[in-house]
Copies of this chain bind each other. A is one copy, B any other.
Amino acid sequence: METLDLRVRIGALELQNPVLTASGTFGYAKEFEPFLNLNRLGGIIVKGISLEPRAGNPPPRIVETACGMLNAIGLENVGIERFISEKMPYLRTLTAPLIVNILGDSLDDYRELARRLDEVPGISGIEVNISCPNVKKGGVAFGAVPEMAAAVTAVVRGATRLPLIVKLSPNVTDITVMAKAVEAAGADAVSLINTLIGMAINAETRKPRLANIIGGLSGPAVKPIALRMVWQTAQAVQIPVIGIGGISTADDAVEFFLAGATAVQVGTANFYDPSAAEKIVAGLEEYLQRHNEERISTLIGALDTGGK
């Protein structure tokens, strides 16, 4: 079938296929050039960028857990200016759309980041990470309070015309409340889930395995939770939902589409299989062919619950 159509829309942004790479798991893309065809991807989301460079947390920063990993990178990044001068020239050579993930300690940070990126050619969208604690408000996470999440969304919306994705934290009682809040504040899409807060201890040394004590859990272990949250969120909002969490195969991705995701992001899987994202694109084509479907869009929300 030459007519396979994997295209999906995230607001004004059309993607050639619904497979993106998740922020913080794909570096600045160049690292993966030897292992896959970057231009086969639906989109590339780069490591979260803040206004100023950040050194990140002391080591150890990562630890393996059962079918997952914890990370406490501490949002190490080169800062917006070096990102633009050092990373954008390469990223601009790629035809796959580039989405820049941003994070800040305050509303001003977010506004300034969005404003700055709006001027930069070669950027197709912004993903706002609201899981970081708000330093000014005493460390309360933007991502756990609907009003704060909405406020971040609104300032970014006011500062850029780029398609705006808000990335939600799963560490909440009801993620649909968060999704509805950012939808109302102007988000073009929501992506979920960010990492679940977790911890690991070395029983022998009696020390935390992460210098930061707690970290974010990701990988196949979290997939059932992510899928459930995507399913709930897709029913709660009108904007596209981008599914993230433990996706490492085309079948995993299909699960998320059926649950209502318009696109997916591949995260931790990039580490253990750097060609995973491209394999998922190929696997989706194969899935459509096998199921005699022409369009990926027919899968979205097509879960057969037998009327429930």
On chain A, the number of residues with a Cβ less than 8 Å from chain B's Cβ atoms is 47
Q: Would you call B68 and A287 a contact (CB within 8 A)?
A: no
Q: Would you call B198 and A225 a contact (CB within 8 A)?
A: yes
Partner among B199, B302, B304, B305 whose Cβ is within 8 Å of the Cβ of A228: B199
On whether A259 and B201 interact (CB within 8 A), knowing A224-B217, A304-B206, the answer reads yes
Instruction: Report A306 CB to chain B, min CB distance, Å.
Output: 7
Roughly how many angstroms separate A222 CA and B224 CA in the complex, as a whole number? 11
On whether A231 and B306 interact (CB within 8 A), knowing A67-B67, A173-B144, A224-B68, the answer reads no
Instruction: Report A230 CB to chain B, min CB distance, Å.
Output: 9
Roughly how many angstroms separate A207 CA and B213 CA in the complex, as a whole number? 39
Q: Would you call A259 and B199 a contact (CB within 8 A)?
A: yes
Highest count of chain B CB atoms <10 Å: which of A171, A173, A219: A173
Roughly how many angstroms separate A206 CA and B303 CA in the complex, as a whole number? 5
Q: Would you call B246 and A66 a contact (CB within 8 A)?
A: yes
Of the stretches A8-16, A21-29, A131-139, A250-258, the one at the interface is A250-258
On whether A203 and B254 interact (CB within 8 A), knowing A213-B305, A221-B221, A303-B208, the answer reads yes
Q: Would you call B198 and A214 a contact (CB within 8 A)?
A: no
**Is A18 part of the binding interface, using a Cβ–Cβ cutoff of 8 Å?**
no
Chain B residues in 8 Å Cβ range of A200: 224, 227, 255
**Is A223 part of the binding interface, using a Cβ–Cβ cutoff of 8 Å?**
yes
**Is A196 part of the binding interface, using a Cβ–Cβ cutoff of 8 Å?**
yes
Chain B residues in 8 Å Cβ range of A172: 173
Highest count of chain B CB atoms <10 Å: which of A144, A203, A303, A306: A203
Residues of A254-275 contacting chain B, CB below 8 A: 254-255, 258-259
Residues of A280-306 contacting chain B, CB below 8 A: 287, 302-306
Residues of A165-192 contacting chain B, CB below 8 A: 171-174
Q: Please list the residues of chain A having a beta carbon within 8 angstroms of any beta carbon in chain B.
A: 65-68, 70, 144, 171-174, 196-201, 203, 205-208, 213-214, 217, 219-225, 227-228, 231, 246, 251, 254-255, 258-259, 287, 302-306, 308
